[in-house]
């Protein structure tokens, strides 16, 4: 990687111009990751994180995740977390986003609401159709035999017709359950949407992750209409998660912070590691894959490549890369050949 490999421009108010962030497109992140050298480095990162996770699981029987926080406590935690993240990333004078308890009527819950509405309408339509079919039993005109047959099979046909509705309701319920244990940053109105049922350690992890997305949004580091930066922004936020989990684990003498981070990170790095090995025709170490089957093709998430690439850069160059990215001081070497 070469600093200055692309034109780094900063506006007078300190917000980077879109031209700087174009280098972090999803396509570029994948291209830079696809090399034998990156595969070996990712293997080192994964081995290190997996060993730490295993050590925590073996030595710590009862991790202290604490109890859920009330609204006032969550606001107080965000104030502290914002200062810590700002200091790490070298940012100041940024307004703290609003906090709102999650509901399906939030912008972040639109997919849940849509699934519930589609499912309900579909099942209602199937129920009405069933009722109509049962009524045609008394029909005496042409096609009366078919009408009577349909009438006798009305419940069966209605049940079959309602299956898509049941699917959409089930899908909505699954996503709803996930969101009740998650958080989201809503850029349109600069709000962190959270679930009040989440316990303190996990809530703090959500807050520093979503607050990082808030900083990214303020500074212009986010996807545009024709340019997706999803992999890079998630990879950057994951890097902040890694630093904050170490900092808080030491500050509060509680390994639950590290466990919370590592459990998700290792799973994501494993998928990316296997995907990269399959793409490059390289064998992955089974002890690093855990229960994953090396012969099964990986359906890679958008988050994985960015998380893996930035973890590699942090591993080889230091965690200051996360600050440098936001300050327009980080350039990807897009001209390099595959290793």
Domain boundaries defined on the chain:
18-96+200-326, 109-177
Mean pLDDT of 302-325: 94
CB 63 within 8 A of CB 192: no
The CA-CA-CA angle for residues 137, 140, 143, to 5°, reads: 85
Q: Give the model's pLDDT for residue 40.
A: 97
Query: Distance between alpha carbon 275 and the CA centroid of its chain, in Å?
Result: 18
Residue 72 tokens read as: 């006032």
Full-model pTM: 0.75
- The distance from CA 68 to its chain's CA centroid, rounded to whole angstroms, is 22
Question: Does residue 169 or residue 319 have the better pLDDT?
Answer: 319
- The pLDDT assigned to 100 comes to 85
**Which burial class, exposed, middle or buried, applies to 293 when counting CB atoms under 10 A from its CB (0-12, 13-18, 19+)?**
exposed
Secondary structure (DSSP) of 222-243: S-BTTB--HHHHHHHHHHHHHH
pLDDT at 210 over 60: yes
**Which of 151 and 245 is assigned the larger pLDDT?**
245
The number of CA neighbours under 13 Å toward the Cβ of 173 is 8
Per DSSP, the three-state class of 328 is coil
**Which residues sit opposite 224 in a β-bridge?**
227
What pLDDT does 177 receive? 42
User: In a 3-state reduction of DSSP, which class is residue 184?
Assistant: strand
* Most confidently predicted of 108-122, 153-167, 182-196: 182-196
Q: Say whether pLDDT at 297 is over 90.
A: no
Taking 70 as the threshold, does the pLDDT of residue 228 lie above it? yes
Confidence band of 334 (pLDDT split at 50, 70, 90): low
Sheet holding 183-186, edge to edge: 98-101, 191-194, 183-186
Per cent of the chain over pLDDT 90 is 47
DSSP category for residue 70: -
Q: How many residues does the chain have?
A: 339
Q: Give a three-class secondary structure readout of 105-162.
A: CCHHHHHHHHHHHHHHHHHHHHHHHHHHHHHHHHCCCCCHHHHHHHHHCHHHHHHHHC
- Rounded-to-integer distance, Cα 95 and Cα 79, Å: 10
**For position 165, what pLDDT does the model report?**
54
Least confident window among 88-92, 107-111, 213-217, 265-269: 107-111
DSSP H or E run through 71: helix 71-89
What mean pLDDT, rounded, does the chain reach?
79
Q: Which residue has the tokens 């935690």?
A: 77
| % of residues, the chain, pLDDT over 70 | 69
Hey, what are 313's tokens?
Answer: 């850069």
Residue 306: what pLDDT?
96
Is the confidence at residue 12, as pLDDT, over 50? no
Query: Which of 92, 112, 116, 98 has its CA nearest to residue 186?
Result: 98
Residue given tokens 């994948």 in the structure block: 30
- Tell me, what's the pLDDT at 85? 97
Under the banding of pLDDT at 50, 70 and 90, the label for residue 171 is very low
Between 109-123, 181-195, 236-250, 252-266, the lowest mean confidence (pLDDT) is in 109-123
Min mean pLDDT across 26-30, 178-182, 291-295, 325-329 is at: 178-182
> Could you report the per-residue pLDDT of 26-55, keeping only the tens digit for each?
999 999 999 999 999 999 999 999 999 999
- CB neighbours of 43 closer than 8 A, spacing ≥ 6? 273, 284, 285, 288
What pLDDT was estimated at residue 121?
Answer: 64
**Average pLDDT for residues 198-216, to the nearest whole number?**
93
């Amino acid at each position: 990687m070469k600093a200055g490999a692309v034109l780094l421009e900063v506006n007078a108010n300190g917000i980077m111009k879109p031209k700087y962030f174009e280098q972090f497109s999803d396509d570029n992140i994948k291209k830079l990751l696809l090399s034998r050298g990156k595969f070996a480095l990712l293997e080192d990162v994964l081995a290190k994180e997996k060993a730490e996770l295993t050590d925590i699981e073996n030595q710590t029987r009862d991790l202290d995740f604490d109890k859920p926080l009330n609204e006032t406590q969550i606001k107080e935690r965000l104030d502290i977390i914002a200062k810590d993240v700002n200091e790490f990333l070298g940012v100041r004078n940024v307004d703290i986003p609003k906090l709102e308890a999650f509901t399906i009527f939030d912008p972040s819950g639109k997919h849940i609401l849509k699934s519930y509405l589609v499912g309900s309408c579909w099942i209602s339509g199937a129920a009405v159709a069933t009722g109509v079919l049962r009524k045609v039993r008394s029909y005496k005109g042409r096609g009366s035999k078919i009408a009577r047959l349909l009438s006798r099979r009305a419940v069966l046909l209605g049940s079959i017709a309602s299956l898509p509705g049941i699917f959409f309701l089930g899908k909505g319920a699954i996503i709803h359950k996930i969101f009740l244990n998650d958080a989201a940053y809503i850029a349109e109105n600069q709000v962190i949407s959270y679930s009040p049922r989440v316990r303190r350690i996990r809530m703090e992890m959500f807050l520093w992750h979503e607050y990082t997305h808030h900083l990214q949004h303020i500074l212009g580091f986010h996807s545009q209409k024709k340019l997706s930066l999803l992999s890079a922004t998630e990879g950057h936020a994951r890097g902040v998660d890694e630093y904050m989990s170490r900092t808080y684990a030491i500050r509060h003498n509680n390994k639950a912070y590290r466990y919370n981070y590592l459990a998700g990170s290792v799973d994501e790095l494993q998928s990316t590691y296997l995907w990269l090995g399959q793409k490059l025709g390289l064998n992955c170490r089974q002890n690093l894959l855990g229960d994953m089957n090396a012969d099964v093709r990986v359906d890679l998430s958008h988050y994985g490549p960015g998380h893996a690439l930035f973890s590699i850069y942090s591993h080889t160059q230091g965690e200051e890369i996360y600050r440098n990215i936001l300050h327009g001081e980080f350039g990807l070497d897009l001209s390099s050949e595959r290793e």
